[in-house]
Amino acid sequence: MSLFPDPLGALLSAPVGRSRRISSNEQPNWSDGNFDMTPLTPGATLELPLLEGPGCLNHLWFTSHAGGVNELNALSLRIYWDGREEPGVEAPLGEFFAVGQGRPAPVESFPVQVSPTGSLSCYWRMPFARSARIVIRNDNADRTTGLYWQVDWVQLDELPPDTPYFHAQYRQEYPAANGRDYLLADLEGTGHYVGTVLSVTLAQDGWFGEGDDFFYLDGEEIPSLQGTGSEDYFNDAWGFRPRTGPWCGQPRWQGDETGDSGVCYRWHVLDPVRFQKSLRLTLEHKGNSMDDLDAWYLERPDFFNSVAFWYQTGLPKRFSSLPDWPERCVPWDRQHLVRTFRTAQADRGALSVRTEGFFGGRPVLAWSGAEVGRVLTLPFTVAKAGRYAVRLTAHSGPRGGRFGVEIDGVPAGELDLRSPELDEHDLRLGVHLLATGAHQIRFVARETDTELWVEQLNLLRLPPPAERPVKGAGEAHFVRLGIGRAAYAYRLAYGELPASLEALVECGIMPERFLRDENRVPLRSRRTEDALLVEAPGWSRPFYGLDARR
């Protein structure tokens, strides 16, 4: 036993085993070469040198050009323990390192770190008795990439009996299936659950994460571990915002509008969930509309993918398989605007093609020399009619300007692409009903002698939105909350309670919407001796003006 049982104290223990490393270091010119990259052509598989045990992986490090084009999830990671046919680890490379959907983002956690430019590190301990076989595949059929890699491990004389093995498994639902909770893990055996990575793309406006997490241990029908909300499970509250920490975080979170996306992680290192026979982990995909009065706590059809992390003895149960690269991408139709170079129409200024990013891997269509009010028109197509979230990948910089955007003549937003440094942006252009066939996106210059750099137009066909036509107790709560905060503000301002709800509207403190209940039935109100009494067909409530709820 170590004198001090903590990570730094462990360094006082006598050394055990021999340190080993395999890497992409240039060979045979290892002492004077710098091309330490393994090229991966489309569909190519890299099998790292076999590690012969007993041993334990203690550090994995990767970086790839795929991160520079937001395609980290085009690379798949598989690790096979002791010659087994099925991988113990199987996930897209980015999702395994808690940066889902292909885009690098900073992660500063205890077992996993990611730099803003896509350096991927992890320190999960991964023991094996006989061998470890690590396989990376480039699943992108259209693009070659380079991979730099290092694997550090300890070669041991023996592995203690019943040592649990490390496992990670990916799954997805695009969109989350109606009528059942989203499955994060379905495990059999003896072990402990140590982590979750969840990536979400919103299929409609509003907060996605009111759903509870449920851990069903050892075959129980009612989960003994019951959560209180999705953000609560990921150790946050009142929504998400970008942040990372040792045990939990959201490396990227865009917002609560249709098409917004983000990724969150939770490591159960200090609170592993132990199971003797089985563990089933689910997450309700329930949330709200943007206006809580429209729908509160209903099942939403958002796009989910996830990775479950755990240790166990024996052979694991396989509860999903890794789809091919096109199928595991959220089904955005990404139309590269450089393809419109020959058909674009600019009524003033010049069009050109530029290359940006790491080694020029990001071609953009550039429009320069425009004047105020001049227009650039680009064509795009829609394969199937429907309701679409529309977004634009564009780049800002010192020469960037302001532009209005129209889709088929309908205003779709204002762009401000001015910034001191070159930067990439994923910009909302709203939700649009688009017919099958040809369409146009127009950029209207708001300034003279600036530049527009655009890369991709991204279209996501949306499932039917979740709705609740007849409102219930959840929505009624927010009607009462609106009245309560108005009565509180009125009492602070005037020193007394209002005579009626209409008085709150007349003085400008309360919106007119709160003269009606959750189903827009007119409310009745009257002053009593010490309260404003409000009555609806299904409820009544006295308001004392003491705080936002009373």
**pLDDT for 374-415, tens place per residue?**
999 999 999 999 999 999 999 999 999 999 999 999 999 999
Tokens of 186: 């379905």
Nearest 5°: phi and psi at 22? -120, 150
Domain(s) of CATH 2.60.120.1390: residues in the chain: 9-328
Arithmetic mean of pLDDT, 275-286: 98
For residues 240, 241, 243 and 247, what is the CA-based torsion angle, rounded to 10 degrees?
Answer: 0
> How far separated are the first and last CA of the chain, in Å rounded?
58
Instruction: Determine the Cα–Cα distance for residues 199 and 250; give it in Å rounded to an integer.
Output: 10
Q: Per-residue pLDDT tens for 16-32?
A: 899 999 999 877 777 77
pLDDT confidence tier of residue 493, bands split at 50, 70 and 90: very high
For residue 7, pLDDT over 90 is answered with no
**Residue 228 CB neighbour total at 10 angstroms:** 11
Q: Per-residue pLDDT tens for 228-261?
A: 999 999 999 999 999 999 999 999 999 999 999 9
Average pLDDT, the chain: 94
Arithmetic mean of pLDDT, 98-126: 95
Instruction: Determine the Cα–Cα distance for residues 181 and 178; give it in Å rounded to an integer.
Output: 8
* Total count of residues recorded for the chain: 550
Q: Per-residue pLDDT tens for 296-343?
A: 999 999 999 999 999 999 999 999 999 999 999 999 999 999 999 999
Extract long-range pairs of 29-37: CB within 8 Å, 24+ residues apart.
36/148, 37/146, 37/147, 37/148
Residue with tokens 């009494």: 533
Strand partners, 282: 183, 214
Q: What amino acid is encoded at 123 in this protein?
A: Y
Q: Per-residue pLDDT tens for 187-225?
A: 999 999 999 999 999 999 999 999 999 999 999 999 999
Assigned fold of 332-461: Jelly Rolls (2.60.120)
pLDDT number for residue 205: 97
Kindly report the CA angle at 216 between 199 and 162, in degrees rounded to 5? 95
Whether the ω angle into residue 326 lies within 30 degrees of 0, i.e. cis, is no
Arithmetic mean of pLDDT, 270-283: 98
Q: What is the DSSP letter of 32?
A: T
Instruction: Determine the Cα–Cα distance for residues 426 and 458; give it in Å rounded to an integer.
Output: 9
CB burial string 363-378: b at 16+ within 10 A, e below: bbbbbbebeeebbbbb
Helix intervals (H) in 136-248: 230-233
Q: What is the DSSP letter of 506?
A: H
Q: Per-residue pLDDT tens for 497-549?
A: 999 999 999 999 999 999 999 999 999 999 999 999 999 999 999 999 998 77
Contact, 448 vs 391, CB < 8 A?
no
Instruction: Determine the Cα–Cα distance for residues 155 and 311; give it in Å rounded to an integer.
Output: 20
What CA–CA distances, in Å, run from 332 to 45, 259, 316, 386?
26, 9, 33, 13
For residue 347, pLDDT over 80 is answered with yes
356: left (phi over 0), alpha (psi -120 to 50) or beta: beta
Class of domain 9-328: mainly beta
For residue 356, pLDDT over 90 is answered with no
Q: What is the DSSP letter of 102?
A: G
Domain(s) of CATH 2.60.120.260: residues in the chain: 332-461
Tokens of 122: 């992890």
The helix (run of H) or strand (run of E) holding residue 493 is helix 473-494
3-state secondary structure of 355: strand
**Residue 153 CB neighbour total at 10 angstroms:** 23
pLDDT number for residue 403: 97
pLDDT number for residue 547: 83
Tokens of 518: 């959750």
Number of H helices, E strands in the chain: 5, 40
pLDDT number for residue 360: 61
pLDDT confidence tier of residue 351, bands split at 50, 70 and 90: very high
Nearest 5°: phi and psi at 471? -80, 160
